[in-house]
Amino acid sequence: MSNPRSVFFVRKEFISARQAPASTIGVLGWIRNNLFSTPFNSLLTVALGGLGVWLIWGALDWLIFNAVWAGGNEACKVNPEGACWTFISTRFDQFVYGFYEKPERWRVDLILLVLFTGIFWSGWERAPARKWVGGFMLIPFPLIAWVVLYGGIFGLPVVETSQWGGFTLTLVVSLIGIIVSLPLGILLALGRRSKMPIIHSTCLFFIEFWRGVPLITVLFMAAYVLPLFFPAGLNFDQLLRALIGFALFAAAYMAEVVRGGLQSLNKGQYEAADSLGLSYWKSMRLIILPQALKAVIPGIVNTFIGLFKDTTLVLIIGLLDLLGMVHAAIADPNWSIRSVPTTGYAFVAITFFIFCYGMSRYSRFVEEKLNTGHKR
Amino acid sequence: MAGRAATTSVLNNSKFRAILYQLIMASLLIYLGWSIAENTIANMEARDIRAGFGFLDETAGFSIMMSLVPYEPGDTYGRVFLVGLLNTLLVAGIGVVFATMVGFLVGIMRLSQNWVVSRLATIYVEIFRNVPLLLQILFWYTAVLKPLPGPRQVFERNTEIYFGISNRGITVPEFIFLENFSFTTWTALLGILFTIGIHRWAKQRQATTGEQFPVFFAGLGLTIGLPILVFLLSGAPVEFTPAKMGRFNLAGGITIIPEFLAVLLSLVLYTASFIAEIVRAGIQAVNYGQTEASRALGLRNGTTLKLVIIPQALRIIIPPMTSQYLNLTKNTSLAAAIAYPDLVATFAGTALNQNGQALETLAITMTVYLSLSLLTSALMNWFNSRVKLVER
């Protein structure tokens, strides 16, 4: 029996979807989900957020809003509660060129211009002739740069390396370290993986020795002991000795990075190269190294960043790089003002931060481009 | 076949070539070593530099501002070496502990759901990682700690100081442990032993019955709570002698020198930023399926982290962490820049400048760092082999 009283209702059309609750979407929802999801989380947000705002505001206030931008040391004495940028601008030339003779400074400018153009050119993916520029920057450029900076030919007067300093010296030390360490590191890594016991153990010992000692002792060694190793009469200047120590130190670290890349390759790649009848060097050059180096680009860039930061250590053996120059300038009694040391160090810190952070972002970018694995 | 072998040049025999290459390499090395040795001997004679390790028994004659063992200017260079080594080990040991704690905290903060927390951690990591360590040491020392007012401006005369900061560093009272304190020490030692026993027992019980035991809280009570109780019951046998401000200077108490503080602070903050990245990468490297699986089993967030994520992340974290510890130990040598009396500043610095025996001094210094490195990596390898995945 059907029930006459029952009414059947069948909806003919769909109800349109309702908006999600206002508290779960948009800015408000994001704030609620991310910042105030639990009482503990809210407490964290308020406490750390307050701390962060206080720190960042304090830093900006000190660095920018309350800073002294012009007017020499008198202006800084009047206002010691802000950064003393006029100290930097007064001495800026010294911080960049060191004691490089004034009329010859165009040579430094020229080299810096070529250097940064070359780096951006070879780093930018769609640039034409990228590989050629990269190759030029790796091998001929350092030699040309050394000749131009040192002088002595083409009518350029000689500028002794003891006059080099400031940011120029930082770049010279780091670039020589980087450029020498890469090929030497590759050779050492190959040697360490070699099956010939004498070559293997020599490379192993070399790598572990340099990695086991601090850079300072290496630089001390280069400064005090290295001259004893050469026959009497053969004398290198201080900078060149430091460069030798720094480059060997850098090569050992690079070797370990490259070895990581060599180990990550499938054994089949080696066997395939052998079965094609390639000689050892051919198989390395054509098959193994291109893949191995590509795999460790982030590691290589990280080593570069570490080396770049480590160049500051040359100040301990008396070479005045950027940090050394600033550190020496701070001691000037005319500038003995409370805000000057912090300003000087902040200036160096910002310079290094820009370069290191830039390099690390670039390596992250390359890493993501080469990453073909699955990501969540 | 025999005919083929005869026509092949001996130069194409890989065994022969291996021997040839190695012979060339070995003779080059021997020549290099020999010529370096010969040049060095000739140069040292020409410059009238002494050789040998006899200088270690000679009087150093300079004072060192901080030493863990008694030291006077009349002591030998060997003693200087010991003082420097202990100062290096002190700052490295404390640095490793604090850097690990800060690093783990920041690494976990970077993974937080909370935007403010993760952003602050990121800013911290990026700033401290990308600024040279030497710059940080100089900054903390020259720009922060040294410009602090001197003790005469900070402390009033004839006051007792329980905690004070001046350009001399941090001043705290000196602790003198009385005889009865040994009860507390023994209780703490027994507590540690008992905790290890309970940990083993609880593990076994969980394996057989599945029941869990609050090992952490029991251990906390045994190793910290009980010793405190014994300490109070035995009449708090520690005497404080606070520093006293004299006419010009502080007397008594313990003063932690600003050089030490600057080195420790910069080493901890710098290394922690690297450790934070290692911890973050290690936790992220654990497959997300592991988290999902443990949720499906009904484990809570904290338990998931403790039982599933961290044990797997540790395997990834430990090898790079080892190299960070090594770096920290080697980086203590940068203390020489602000004259913290570590091994490099005292032994390879002041002592070397006085006696001029660079070769021997630097060889000893490098050997020390090399053995420290090898020791640390051996310890960490042992630890690593304990936690690593047992593959079948």
H or E element at residue B161: strand B160-161
Whether residue B222 lies inside any domain: the answer is yes
**Does the pLDDT at position A234 exceed 50?**
yes
Judging contacts by C-beta atoms under 8 Å, the chain A residues touching residue B370 are 209, 212-213
- The answer, for B368 touching chain A at a CB cutoff of 8 Å, is no
Structure confidence at residue A376 (pLDDT): 45
What pLDDT band is residue A373 in, cutting at 50, 70 and 90? low
Both B218 and B262 in one domain: the answer is no
Structure confidence at residue B2 (pLDDT): 46
Q: pLDDT tens digit string along A276-329?
A: 988 888 888 888 888 888 888 888 888 889 899 999 998 888 888 889 888 888
CB contact under 8 A, B337 and A315: yes
Average pLDDT of the segment spanning B77-86 = 88
How many domains does the structure of chain A reveal?
2
Choose the weakest-confidence range: A28-37, A50-59, B75-84, B124-133.
A28-37
Both A235 and A271 in one domain: the answer is yes
Both B225 and B266 in one domain: the answer is no
Question: What does the longest C-alpha to C-alpha distance in chain B come to?
Answer: 103
Both A39 and A83 in one domain: the answer is no
Whether residue B158 lies inside any domain: the answer is no
Both A30 and A85 in one domain: the answer is no
Both B228 and B346 in one domain: the answer is no
The boundaries of the domain holding residue B228 are 177-238
Top pLDDT among B252 and B281 is at B281
Choose the weakest-confidence range: A96-105, B47-56, B110-119, B271-280.
B47-56
The boundaries of the domain holding residue A47 are 26-65
Both A363 and A216 in one domain: the answer is yes
d(CA B288, CA B97): 30
Q: Which of A170, A301, A302, A345 to mutate to test the interface with B (most CBs of B within 10 A)?
A: A345
CB contact under 8 A, A214 and B117: no
Nearest CA to B93 out of B71, B58, B122, B68 is that of B68
- The answer, for B224 touching chain A at a CB cutoff of 8 Å, is no
Both B135 and B281 in one domain: the answer is yes
How many domains does the structure of chain B reveal?
2
Q: Which of B24, B106, B117, B301 to mutate to test the interface with A (most CBs of A within 10 A)?
A: B117
- Rounded (10°) CA dihedral B341, B344, B345, B348: 130
Whether residue A17 lies inside any domain: the answer is no
Residues making up chain B, counted from first to last: 392
Interface list for B 297-336 with A (CB within 8 A): 330-331, 333-334, 336
Both B266 and B380 in one domain: the answer is yes
H or E element at residue B41: helix B14-46
CB contact under 8 A, A356 and B44: no
User: Which chain A residue has its CA at the smallest distance from B120's CA?
Assistant: A52
CB contact under 8 A, B369 and A212: yes
Q: Percentage of chain A with pLDDT > 70?
A: 95
Both A344 and A240 in one domain: the answer is yes
**Does the pLDDT at position A374 exceed 60?**
no
Both A238 and A304 in one domain: the answer is yes
Residue holding tokens 């602070």?
Answer: B265
Both A61 and A76 in one domain: the answer is no
User: Which chain B residue has its CA at the smallest distance from A345's CA?
Assistant: B139
Task: Please give the mean pLDDT across all residues of chain A.
Answer: 83
Average pLDDT of the segment spanning A182-189 = 91
Angle (deg, nearest 10), helices B310-331 and B358-387: 170
Structure confidence at residue B274 (pLDDT): 93
Q: pLDDT tens digit string along A130-172?
A: 777 777 777 788 888 787 777 777 767 777 777 788 888 898 8
Q: pLDDT tens digit string along A103-129?
A: 777 888 888 888 888 887 777 777 777
Both A55 and A93 in one domain: the answer is no
> Two tokens at A315?
């100040």
Interface list for B 73-132 with A (CB within 8 A): 113-117, 119-120, 123, 126-127, 129-132
Of A12, A38, A65, the one marking the end of a domain is A65
H or E element at residue B240: strand B238-241
Q: Which range is most confident: A51-60, B61-70, B228-237?
A: A51-60
Return the SS3 of A164.
strand
Q: Do B266 and B140 form a contact (C-beta atoms < 8 A)? A: yes
User: Which chain B residue has its CA at the smallest distance from A331's CA?
Assistant: B142
CB contact under 8 A, B39 and A315: no
Burial class (CB in 10 A: 0-12, 13-18, 19+), B390: exposed
Q: What strands, in cross-sheet order, belong to the sheet with B164-166?
A: B164-166, B169-172, B254-256
Whether residue A11 lies inside any domain: the answer is no
d(CA A54, CA A84): 21
Both B134 and B273 in one domain: the answer is yes
Q: Percentage of chain B with pLDDT > 90?
A: 20
Residues 6+ apart with CB under 8 A from A357: B126, B130
> Two tokens at A210?
């340099």
Whether residue B306 lies inside any domain: the answer is yes
Structure confidence at residue A350 (pLDDT): 92
- The answer, for B139 touching chain A at a CB cutoff of 8 Å, is yes
H helix intervals, A151-220: 166-192, 197-212, 215-220
Average pLDDT of the segment spanning A214-227 = 87
**Does the pLDDT at position B5 exceed 60?**
no
Both A207 and A334 in one domain: the answer is yes
Residue holding tokens 């293997």?
Answer: A200
Q: Percentage of chain A with pLDDT > 90?
A: 11
CB contact under 8 A, A353 and B42: no
Whether residue A116 lies inside any domain: the answer is no
Judging contacts by C-beta atoms under 8 Å, the chain A residues touching residue B373 are 211-213
d(CA A203, CA B225): 54
CB contact under 8 A, A212 and B26: no
Whether residue B373 lies inside any domain: the answer is yes
Whether residue B338 lies inside any domain: the answer is yes
Alpha-carbon gap: B379 to the closest alpha carbon of chain A (Å): 15
Both B135 and B267 in one domain: the answer is yes
What pLDDT band is residue B271 in, cutting at 50, 70 and 90? very high
We report the CATH number of the domain holding residue B129 as: 1.10.3720.10
Interface list for B 273-302 with A (CB within 8 A): 288
Whether residue A136 lies inside any domain: the answer is no
Identity of the residue in A212, A224, A345 whose CB atom sits nearest the CB atom of B358: A224
Structure confidence at residue A204 (pLDDT): 87
**Does the pLDDT at position A216 exceed 80?**
yes
Average pLDDT of the segment spanning A180-196 = 89
- Rounded (10°) CA dihedral B246, B252, B256, B258: 20
Whether complex ipTM tops 0.90 = no
H helix intervals, chain A: 26-34, 39-60, 72-78, 85-97, 105-123, 130-138, 140-150, 166-192, 197-212, 215-220, 226-229, 238-264, 267-275, 280-283, 289-295, 297-310, 322-330, 339-370
Both B262 and B379 in one domain: the answer is yes
> Two tokens at A276?
């094609």
Both B310 and B367 in one domain: the answer is yes
CB contact under 8 A, A51 and B333: no
Phi, psi of B2 (to 5 degrees): -60, -35
Top pLDDT among A149 and A95 is at A95
- The answer, for B36 touching chain A at a CB cutoff of 8 Å, is yes
Residues 6+ apart with CB under 8 A from A364: A298
Q: pLDDT tens digit string along A353-366?
A: 999 999 888 888 87
Identity of the residue in B29, B113, B370 whose CB atom sits nearest the CB atom of A212: B370
Whether residue A322 lies inside any domain: the answer is yes
Both B315 and B280 in one domain: the answer is yes
Whether residue B216 lies inside any domain: the answer is yes
CB contact under 8 A, B369 and A216: no
Whether residue B59 lies inside any domain: the answer is no
Average pLDDT of the segment spanning A259-276 = 86
* A-B Cβ pairs (cutoff 8 Å, strict): 153
We report the CATH number of the domain holding residue A184 as: 1.10.3720.10
What pLDDT band is residue B1 in, cutting at 50, 70 and 90? very low
Whether residue B64 lies inside any domain: the answer is no
d(CA B330, CA B193): 34
Structure confidence at residue B3 (pLDDT): 46
Structure confidence at residue B304 (pLDDT): 87
Angle (deg, nearest 10), helices A197-212 and A238-264: 120
Interface list for B 253-272 with A (CB within 8 A): none
CB contact under 8 A, B139 and A342: yes
Both B200 and B342 in one domain: the answer is no
Identity of the residue in B127, B143, B373 whose CB atom sits nearest the CB atom of A342: B143
Judging contacts by C-beta atoms under 8 Å, the chain B residues touching residue A38 are none
Whether residue A256 lies inside any domain: the answer is yes
Identity of the residue in B18, B46, B134 whose CB atom sits nearest the CB atom of A312: B134
Tell me the CB-side half-sphere exposure of residue A158, using CA atoms within 13 A: 4
Q: pLDDT tens digit string along B171-229?
A: 877 777 777 778 888 888 888 998 899 889 888 888 888 887 888 888 888 888 888 88
What pLDDT band is residue B134 in, cutting at 50, 70 and 90? very high
Alpha-carbon gap: A335 to the closest alpha carbon of chain B (Å): 14
Both B126 and B265 in one domain: the answer is yes
